Amino acid sequence: MTVTTRRADAQRSIAAILTAAAECLGRDPAASTSEIAKAAGVGRVTLYGHFPSRAELVDAVFVQAIATGEETLGQVDLTGDPRDALTRLIESSWHLVDQYRALLLAAQDALPPGRVRELHADPMARVERLLERGRAENVFRTDLPTSWLVSVMHNVMHGAASEIQAGRITSDQAAPYITATLLAAFAPPKAE
């Protein structure tokens, strides 16, 4: 209801800035507004005309990234054996994490503390739901809090992204490694 009053050419600029920003920040989390404007084929002034500050731009890009990620994740089949569902979820999440790694860094130091986590609420809830179901069905461990398991998953995936960036593993290997690691970590401890 706010939007109808934007001229077509302004909308094009905004879109161009958003995609250019996504691309630049994905390469270098510290990319400057000049860099982004140039990449968008737009004057720096125009950029500030649409986004009051660098922070708000980063926020917008991040929001968009989460939204498109959510769309992908929403199509993952989470029914059936929770272990298989988790495998599928990892397979999809993983690509997103790898892709948006640098953008996340940008967000972390341009946005107020807590904002990143706030925007992650939806994807996190999805994981949590799956884990809870797995716990209820006795295929995931219940001796650790669900939130901790979520955090472990998060960190292992981001760790894998670092390893790739450093050239120590390849993109192909990552998903199976992550899956093998997390399935083991999440299994109920066998009583000895």
- Which of positions 30-59 make contact with DNA (CB under 7 A)? 32-34, 41-46, 48-50, 52-55
Q: Is 8 in the site for DNA (CB under 7 A)?
A: yes
9 binds, among its own copies, DNA, none (CB under 5 to 8 A by kind): DNA
Task: Give ∠ CA 136-142-143 in degrees, rounded to 5.
Answer: 165
**What six digits make up the tokens of 145?**
């809090």
Regarding 6 and contact with DNA (CB under 7 A), the answer is yes
Least separation in angstroms between residue 7's CB and its own copies is 41
Side-chain-side CA neighbours of residue 67 (13 Å) = 6
Is residue 9 a contact residue for DNA (CB under 7 A)?
Answer: yes
Binding status of residue 171 toward DNA by CB under 7 A = no
Is residue 168 helix, strand or coil?
A: coil
* Pick 34 or 138: Cβ nearer DNA: 34
CA distance 138 to 187: 9
**Binding at 54: pick from its own copies, DNA, none (beta carbon under 5-8 Å per type):** DNA
| 3-state class (DSSP) for residue 87 | helix
